Structure 1
Amino acid sequence: MTAYTPLNGLPYPRPADTADLPLHLQSLAEAVDGRTVLRYGTAALRDAAITTPVAGMVVWLTSPGQLTHYTGTLWAPVAPVPVFLHNNDAGTTTATAASETLTDALGDPLVAAFVAPPTGRAIVTVGASMNNSSATACYMGATVKRVSDGSVFLASSVDRAGTVHNTNRVSASSQFLVTGLAPGTAYSAVPTYWSAVNASVTNTAGYDNRFVRVDPIL
């Protein structure tokens, strides 16, 4: 009767077992297979190959270059994986409501995609060198969306925005905590830009050296 190692439960033959070396090697190889660091190109390929994952399995994903493990309910990064995007192409906006793009700037919108960790929490940070054409506030915030359908999970808000009230360029940033994310679900944080309303003139808010960073919290 086949015996098993005490720690990992790996099978090995006993003297009374059938003398079938290929069969015993196959049993051992199959038992070891799920305990190694598996390698797949993408999460989709991983999920297609491993239809019944077991807690503790570890998989390397070539894209996006991430080590993941199965918690028993979902695949999650082995360690927090910050996402950082930067755009040093300057742009402006006259919008008085949150806008994801700037006039005369390339590379917008900045979409910082991330997967919600088991805690369902992440820190979002945005910042830029900002100014307004008049002594009125301008803002930089971020909207958090579900990648699957583009729906808004957390709308951009003045309460979570970096703010500058100056005609001279000033560097400003804002950092806020996002909670209640569905673990294992893909989200994105997208920077937004807008100016305060000034009834007498149309304001032009300017931005340069913009960035967004997402830090999932394990």
Structure 2
Amino acid sequence: MNLRSSWVTETGQTREDTRLTQTGATTMTDPVKVRSGILPGSYDGQYRLSGFWTFGSAAMSATVSEGRAVIQGEVSQGAFPVTLPASEVVTFAPGNAQYRRIDLLVLRIHDKLYDGGERTEATLEIIQGAPEQDPKVPLIPPRCLPLYEVLVPAGASAGNGGIPWASSLKDLRTPIVALGGILPVEGAVLPGAYPGQYQDAAGALQRWDGGTWVSYPSALGGIIPSSASTTPASYTGQYRDSTGGQLQRWNGTAWAPAVPGPYFVDNGDYGDTTSTTYTSTLAGRATNPLTVSFVAPPSRAVAVSFGAKMRSTSNDHYAYMALKLTQGATVVNDVDDDYAVIAASQNMISAANTRRYSNLTAGATYTLTAFFRVITNTTTLKAGFDNTFIKVDPLP
């Protein structure tokens, strides 16, 4: 039987047994193997990943900071835990006279039982790349954990300035955590190992659903915060707080205001009419007609307020303002005296009305247009209107 265990047998426990059965800092990739990576953490808690941080300390040398890591071998080998308890200096070979090259700084496990060599140890190594006009990253040997790519310029040496560390280091470090822990993502985003696994990526807590990483607000039906407003929607009816501070709802195609409106239009120009039938044009106004469009809410009902400062040139005659509701070219609700705003005064008076429109088609766009008239009339009698407005409030 090939079943392995630790601390059970009285004799014969091998190094492979110990590595295969450890359950410490291991982020699983399948039922047996774990992800190679570095344990997260920093001295002051400001950074996710400080282990094996590398910086240029001389022209051709770099200092690798202390840290702990796990390197997965072949399935039968298990995982190798490694620790660098104090910082280490590594030195790079001088650059080629003509071409640049890319070197790899790696943690490497030498195991003569598997690689046929003479060494059995963990090392911090530089794998030197080939100098080329368009340099390539060298191949990574088995049981290696890449830490950094280092671009070595042509002719680089201690005597001519060495390696420009600020632009030559490319960080390849990736973190791992204990089984079941929340993984802080740095570098490449890798697939999860099981549904229900969590990771912290780009400021959002994500859950592996078996096929993709789903952001925490999406998975639980919460409101996606504005800091993660670029997160794709997961389902129709999901909500988010937009970067503009507006609550939005995913309608299956686009993010739309969760509570549309209110919609408002007004005109502060004075205008008048001598028409005894409803007209949308007032003489003296630069802009006609007064209209506002709105999207019908899921409740299919809106409350509409409208009004103006109004007058007629005779106290015995009436100025009327009414609304017509249309959807495209279709008249849904025509002007009606019963719902009009009415005033009979030679002086300007303020008048307004509010009415409910129901049985609308949710999501459809409607337009309200203001109409005006005077009753009764002579050739000199007019109805005047100023500060006209229409306001539409979607109802819940």
Secondary structure, aligned partner of 1:159: helix
Could you tell me whether the CA contact under 8 Å between 1:130 and 1:208 is conserved in 2? Answer: yes
Aligned counterpart, 1:114: 294
Structure-2-length-normalised TM-score: 0.42
The percent identity for this pair of structures is: 28
Aligned counterpart, 2:274: 94
Q: Which whole-Å deviations, capped at 9, do the CAs of 1:2-30 have from their partners, x for residues lacking one? A: xxxxxxxxxx9776287576123798465
CA distance in 2, matches of 1:70, 1:127: 35
Structure-1-length-normalised TM-score: 0.72
Aligned counterpart, 1:212: 390
Alignment counterpart, residue 31 of structure 1, candidates 199, 208, 214: 214
Where structure 1 has 5 or more consecutive residues not aligned to the other structure, the ranges are 1-11, 41-48
Aligned counterpart, 2:122: none
The 5 Å alignment of 1:42-81 reads: 54-58=235-239, 67-70=247-250, 77-79=257-259, 81=261
CA distance in 1, matches of 2:365, 2:333: 14
Alignment counterpart, residue 361 of structure 2, candidates 182, 191, 197: 182
Secondary structure, aligned partner of 1:139: strand
Letter aligned with residue 191 of structure 2: L
Aligned counterpart, 1:163: 342
Aligned counterpart, 1:152: 331
Structure 1 residues 190, 17: closer, same or farther in 2, change over 3 A?
Answer: farther
Structure 1 residues 23, 15: closer, same or farther in 2, change over 3 A?
Answer: closer
Could you tell me whether the CA contact under 8 Å between 2:260 and 2:295 is conserved in 1? Answer: no
Secondary structure, aligned partner of 1:105: coil
CA distance in 2, matches of 1:183, 1:112: 17
Q: CA offset at residue 160 of structure 1?
A: 0.9
Q: CA offset at residue 79 of structure 1?
A: 2.9
Q: Which whole-Å deviations, capped at 9, do the CAs of 1:132-165 have from their partners, x for residues lacking one? A: 123211111111121xx23221112111111011
- Residue 16 (1) aligns with residue 12 (2): no
Structure 1 residues 188, 168: closer, same or farther in 2, change over 3 A?
Answer: same
Q: CA offset at residue 59 of structure 1?
A: 5.5
- Residue 85 (1) aligns with residue 265 (2): yes
Where structure 2 has 5 or more consecutive residues not aligned to the other structure, the ranges are 1-26, 36-188, 193-198, 200-205, 219-223
CA distance in 2, matches of 1:202, 1:19: 93
Higher relative contact order (CA 8 A, sep 6+): 1
CA distance in 1, matches of 2:302, 2:213: 37
- Residue 130 (1) aligns with residue 310 (2): yes
Secondary structure, aligned partner of 1:168: coil
Q: CA offset at residue 71 of structure 1?
A: 7.0
Structure 1 residues 32, 13: closer, same or farther in 2, change over 3 A?
Answer: farther
